[in-house]
Amino acid sequence: MQLNKMSLKIGKKIFKSRLLIGTGKYQDINQMNKSLINSNCEIITVAVRRIKSFESSHQGLMEAINWQKYWMLPNTAGCENADESIRIARLGRELAKISGQEDNNFIKLEVIPDKNYLLPDPFETLKAAEKLIKEDFEVLPYINADPLLAKRLEEIGCSTVMPLGSPIGSAQGLRNKANIEIIIENSQIPVIVDAGIGVPSHAAQAMEIGADAVLINSAIALANDPPLMAEAMHNAVSAGRKSFLAGRLIEKSQAIPSSPMTGIIK
């Protein structure tokens, strides 16, 4: 089967949308559901530890979401080392089964011991990924924009790599653009830009340079009008993807006239 250029393939699953959405930080479940609808997303992340601890902002989340419509991406948010993240990943797989997705082995791998800048630990991430792949997980690791680490994670069998554009929740955009471009150039698996996107132009930029998808949470959930921002992000991702496929005009240092200079009437 030929994959449509507008579609996204992760492991054996094919998705029409290239926008992944987080489920945290919304004012309420109703606001979150409206945002999910407006985003036209198909993959949504769920923080396993927050669900399992019955955190107030996540109460009722599992029951409120139509799991026949959305594909669950459990994540290991809050884990500080490989062993902890592996344990939470296993719980995440069980959570997906409870939702009715018996064949869902997806896990967004986050290993973040740093409390100030929330930067992922590359060594513990690699260690955890190796173990989870052996347990037949489709591993989507959240990483610094490190081309060497990204390639190593691809080589051991990760389904994607998810480099950060800038620190989580910072809304700084693609501060790591040069490295992300290297990762994209050398990757044979999807590259999903995760973290740092603050406005639709950031999302469009990520797609324009060839990212396969973006994952957004704070920029939507903490906007003044989350459902409207979700719609804007959807449009930006779609436009950015089309721009990448169309091929941009090459940037030059000098002006070039739009009309030919030959044959001008004098």
Active site residues: 108
- What does the DSSP 8-state code read for residue 21? E
Helix axes 226-246, 200-208, angle to 10 degrees: 20
3-state secondary structure string across 85-102 = HHHHHHHHHHHHHHCCCC
Rounded to whole angstroms, how far apart are CA atoms 59 and 65? 12
Query: 106-109 and 138-143 as β-strands: parallel, antiparallel, unpaired?
Result: parallel
| CB contact burial 45-80 (16+ within 10 A = b; e otherwise) | bbbbbbbeeeeebbeebeeebebeebbbbbbbbebe
CB atoms within 10 A of CB 234: 22
Question: Residue 140 corresponds to which tokens in the numbers above?
Answer: 């989507």
Classify 145 as helix, strand or coil.
coil
**Rounded distance between C-alpha atoms, residue 39 and residue 22, angstroms:** 11
Comparing CA positions, the residue from 43, 12, 22 lying closest to residue 159 is: 12
Within 8 A by CB and 6+ apart from 178, the residues are none
